[in-house]
Amino acid sequence: MFKKLASCLLVLFFCSLPVTAAEKRILVYGDSLSAGFGIAVAQSWPALLGQRLSANGSGLTVTNASISGETTAGGRARLAAVLTQFKPRIVILALGANDGLRGLPVAAMKDNLGAMVKLAKQHGARVLLVGMRLPPNYGPQYTEEFDAAFRDLARREKVALLPFLLEPIALERDAYQADGLHPTAAAQAKILDHVWTALKPLLR
């Protein structure tokens, strides 16, 4: 609960910062997997992305508006205000994991994600849709529908897709914290490298 509250306060802090229309910005919009749950925020893959962009002299900055525990419904409800505030050039949309873990209807998740993709595009942003996969104990029908939702949506909306955020560490037990769900600080660089492969074409 404390970590979720801290994430919310961090987002409120970001939202209080002044933003100019001319600023080039990437918005990371996800859940605890992107919010840096259980590690220092500066160690999270979005923070590392900001460091890489700075080192490359791209002129792009990164705002991480991810909140631990966020579902696609929650993300959808607050996205318009976030887009208006930050005016991002690129949106990395990395929500859906909590919908899956809670067994929420895939159709509703897909509808929420689709609405967020459309809204980001209406605000002039390019979108990288980041997918997730569920463990097999959720059953083959649900896990297959869940996985396909990201692919179908990316194809329909013609946006870039990273099918599985945790792919490079999926089978590495040591890459996760004690809860078995959240990556360690040491694993964040691998996640960033994975995200970078799909993000790089959007930077041109």
**Cα–Cα distance list, 109 to 29, 134, 140, 157, 192 (Å):** 15, 14, 18, 15, 25
Sheet holding 126-130, edge to edge: 61-64, 25-30, 90-94, 126-130, 160-162
Identify the H or E element spanning 202.
none
Identify the H or E element spanning 64.
strand 61-64
Burial of 6 (0-12, 13-18, 19+ CB in 10 A): middle
Catalytic residue among 7, 32, 66, 68: 32
**Active site includes 194?**
no
Please identify which residue in the block is written with the tokens 């691998």: 190
Catalytic residue among 34, 44, 66, 182: 182
**Active site includes 123?**
no
Q: Which residues are catalytic?
A: 32, 179, 182
